[in-house]
Structure 1
Amino acid sequence: MPRKPKYYVRPDGLHEAIRTISGKRVAFRGKTDADVERKMIEHRERLTKGRPFREVADEWKGIHFPTLAPNTLKGYKPALERAVKEFGETSVREIRAPDVKRFINEFARGGRALKTVSNQLLVLSLALGYAVSEGEIDYNPCVSISPPKGLQKGHRDAGSPDDEERVKKSAGVWLFPYLILYTGLRKGEALALTYDDIDRDNKEIRVTKSVYHIGDKPYIKKPKTEAGVRTVPIFDPLWRELPVGKGSKYIFSDDGGTTPISNRRYQTLWGRYVRETGITCTAHQLRHSFATMLFELDVDPKIAQELLGHSTEAMTREIYTHLRQQKLDAATKNINKRLAKKEHGSTQKRHKKA
C-alpha cells in the first residue's frame, strides 16, 4: 500500500507545506515530501545566516522601482548597482555601520558632489530598510551614517552672457530656449505647455503639468513638486514672440499639437539650434539665467521661489547665495588685478627715480 504523503498534494502534483515565518506565510513546494523538507531546512539556514544583499536588493528593486518617477529612477538605478557591486554576496546580517561608512567615504573621494553621495547613501539605506521591514535584520546600519563633511554642493551655472544674447536674438529660430530664458520653466514644464495654458488677458502662463520621456515617447505628469503648479508672468519680450493658438494643443509638438514633442525630435531641434546660434549652454542653464536675472533685479527670494517653482525658500536662497559668492569672487579678482597694476606702476617709478 502506497505511503500517504506527509504534506498537501496540489492538483498539479507538487507537494506543499505552508509555514508562518516572522509573520509571513511562506510556501515550500517540491515533487516529494523530501524535497519540501529539504527546502524548509535550506530556508531556515538561510534565515539564520541572512540572505545575501544582492538577493534582498533585487527583491526591493522589483517592488519599489516601478513606483518611481523616471528622473528619480535615473539616480536610483546606478546607485543600487554600485551598492550591489560592493555588498552583493555579503549577508545583510553581516553589513555593519563601519562597512557602510567605509563604502560611502570611498565613494565620496571620487570628487563627487554632496547630492550624489547623499543619494548613494539613501538608496543603500532604503534597500537595507526593506530587510528590516521583512524581519531579516534588527536595525538599519545606514541610520547612523552621514556623508563626509566638506563635500561640494553641486551648482549648475547660468548660461554665459554671450549665450543669453544669442538666445535673445534668435526667437525666430526656435521659441523653446527663448521661452525658458524669460520664464525660468523647467524643460518638461515648457514642453507640456498648451495654448490653454496661456492667459492672454492677464499676460500669464499657468504651469500645471510636465513632460517626461520613456525612450522616445512623451508622457504627461504633474510638476516636480506641489510648488511647481504655479502662474508666471509673461514679460514683454516673450509676449511679442508667443504664437497665437487656441485649445488644448501643445505648443511644442510633432503632430500639429495633439501630443507633446518626442525625445528624438527634441534632440534634433536642440542640436540644430545649437549649430545655428552657436550657444554652448543647456536648457536647464537658461532656467538658471532666469534665476540670475531675478537675483540681479533684487527680487525677493520668496517671490523668486514662487516663480521658479521651488519647493522651499531655502532652495532659492541657496541659489542666491551661490550667485552672491560668484559676484564677490569676480570683484575680488578684479580688485587684485587692479592693485597688481598699480603696484607694478609704482615699482617702475621707484626704479626710474633711483
Structure 2
Amino acid sequence: MDRKDKKGRKLRVGEYYDSKNDRYLFRKMINGKRYTITDEDLITLRKKAAALTIDIENNNIYTRDMEKMTLDEYFECWCENSGKSGRKATTYMNYQAYYNAHVKGTELGRMAIRSIRKTHCQKLFNDMMKKGYKKSTLNNMKGCLSVLFSEAEDDDIVMKNPCKNIRFIQAGKGEREAISEEQVETLINFLKGDEEFAEYYPFFVILFNLGTRIGEASAITWDCVDFSNSKITINKALNRYRKKEYGFTVAIGSTKSKNGIRTVKVNEIVIRALKEQRRLQLQKEGSVTIKIPRVDDYGRVISEIDNLVFTQANGQAWYEPAVISLIHRIVKKQNEQAEQKGTVKLQYFTPHQIRHTYTTMAFEAGVDEKEVAFRLGHASEITTREVYTHLRGQKKQEQDEIVNRIQIG
C-alpha cells in the first residue's frame, strides 16, 4: 500500500492507496478491532472516514457490534464489564448460575439479542414450568434476565425489556415438608449416643432450635454468643464464591438482607450444647485452625476469621454441600443400626427442612407471626406469610375449631 496516490498527493494518517486496484483505503483500530473503508474517490473516502469518526465519538460503532451479539455473547460481555458493579458478589454469582443452567447454549441463548421478544422469553419460562421448576426458581431466572435486558436497553441494543411483563402464575410453589417429631427425636438420640457423630450434636441443636440458614449457623463466631444472658447474635453468613474470580471458594460475608441481623434469646438446651461445643473445641486444641476470609458485599477481603463456633474436622467452615454429605453419612449409619435392631429408621432430609421444621413448631406453639419472621431473618412477616401460607392455614383451622367450641343458646 502506498502513502501517496497516482497524482502524488500525500495521504493522511490511516489513508492508503492501492495502486494495483486503483482504490483508496482508510483503516482505524477500535477496541482491538480493525475497521476498513474503501472508495475509488479520495474525497468520498474522507467523507466516509469523517462519518466513522462521528460514530466512534457517539459510541455507535460499539453498539452496532453488540447488536450482532447473541444473548450468550452479551451475557459474557456483561459479566466481564458490569456484572459485579453495584451488586453483591453472591447476587452476581447467582445470576451466573441461573443463566448457565437454564439459558446458555439454548435456542434463546443463541439468538441475536436485538431479535429477542417477549414471546421468546415466555417460551423459556413455559419450558421450565413443564420441567417442574417452582415459582422461586422462575422468579430468580426472571430477575437475572431482567437485569441483563435492562443493561441492553441502556446500551441502546433493545428498545424495551422483553422480560418486563412475563407471567407464570400456574407455577407451583413447592412443598416444604417438615421433619416429623418422631424423626427429629430419632436423629437427636442417635447423635447423642453415637461415638462417631456425637461431636455434631451441638451443631444440629443450634439448627433445630434457631431455624437459621446453614450459612448463618456456619458463620457464628464465639464473640456472638452471650452465655450470661442466653443470647446469640446472627450478623453474618458464610457464602460460596468462584475461586477463579475471587481467589477463594468460601468466605464470611453479610447476611441475606439487613433484616437477617438479629439477636435472639435461646433456651437452656442451646446454651448447654454451645458449652459442649466449646469443650470439644478446647479438647482439640492444637489441631489445624483454618482462617476464613471476611469479605464485603463485593467479594473484597477485609479481614480473616478464625473463631468460628462450628467447623468441620479438617478446620474448614461448614457449607451446605458439606452439611448434606454429613446428613447422608449420619442417616446411612443410623439405618444400618436400625436394620439390625428393628427400630425406627431415619429418612433423608435436607438442611432447609430443618429450618422449615423450626417454623412449623413455632407456629404450632402459637408464636406470633411477626416474632417468627424476626427469628427467621425475613425482611417482614409478609415474606413469612407467603412462604408458609399452608402452615398458617393449618393453624387457622385449629383456631376455628377452638373458637367454635363456644356455643351459646
TM-score (norm: length of structure 1): 0.74
- % identical equivalent positions: 26
Alignment partner, residue 173 of structure 2:
153
Aligned residue in 1 for 2:229: 202
CA deviations 1:178-225 (Å, max 9, x no partner) are 210011111111111122111111101111111123479431011111
Q: Distance in 1 between matches of 2:352 and 2:91?
A: 14
Residue in structure 1 matched with residue 135 of structure 2 by the alignment: 114
Q: Among 299, 314, 332, which residue is 1:275 paired with?
A: 332
Query: Is 2:313 the partner of 1:286?
Result: no
Question: Partners of 2:226 and 2:257 in 1: how far apart?
Answer: 22
2:223 paired with 1:182 = no
Helix, strand or coil for the counterpart of 1:302? helix
Q: Which whole-Å CA distance do the structure 2 matches of 1:73 and 1:49 have between them?
A: 25
Moved more, 61-70 or 283-292: 61-70
Offset at residue 298 of structure 1 (A): 0.9
Helix, strand or coil at the partner of 2:274: coil
Partner residue of 1:348?
none
Deviation at 1:125, TM superposition (A): 2.3
Q: Distance in 1 between matches of 2:203 and 2:82?
A: 35
The aligned length equals 314
SS in 2 for 1:231: strand
Asked if 1:219 is matched to 2:219, the reply is: no
Question: Given the alignment of the two structures, is residue 239 of structure 1 paired with residue 271 of structure 2, yes or no?
Answer: yes
Matches within 5 A, 1:255-334: 260-261=317-318, 266=323, 269-277=326-334, 278-325=346-393
- CA contact 1:209–1:229 (8 Å) conserved in 2: yes
2:395 and 2:208 map into 1 onto residues whose CA distance is 21
Gaps of 5+ in 1: 10-14, 19-25, 331-354
Aligned to 2:71: 53
TM-superposition CA deviations, 1:88-131 (whole Å, max 9, x none):
34222222222222332233222221112222222222222221
Q: Residues 16, 177 of structure 1: CA spacing in aligned structure 2 closer, same or farther, 3 A cutoff?
A: farther
Q: Distance in 2 between matches of 1:255 and 1:162?
A: 29
Q: Report whether the alignment pairs 1:252 with 2:307.
A: no
How far has the Cα of 1:276 moved from its partner? 4.0
Q: Distance in 1 between matches of 2:149 and 2:13?
A: 35
Task: Please say which of residues 105-114 and 64-73 is displaced more in the overlay.
Answer: 64-73
SS at match of 2:159: coil
SS at match of 2:128: helix
Report if the CA contact (8 A) 2:214-2:319 is conserved: no
Structure 2 residues not aligned, in runs of 5+: 5-9, 16-25, 39-47, 193-197, 283-304, 335-345, 399-409
Change (3 A) 1:270 1:320: closer
Counterparts of 1:208 and 1:32 in 2: how far apart (Å)? 58
Aligned equivalents of 2:272, 2:62: Cα separation in 1: 72
Secondary structure at the aligned position of 1:196 is classed as helix
Distance in 2 (CA, whole Å) between partners of 1:48 and 1:75 is 20
Tell me the TM-score normalised to structure 2 length.
0.65
Q: Post-superposition shift, 1:279?
A: 4.8
Which sits farther off after the overlay, 152-161 or 203-212? 152-161
CA 154–96 in structure 1, closer or farther in 2 if over 3 Å, else same: same
SS in 2 for 1:205: strand
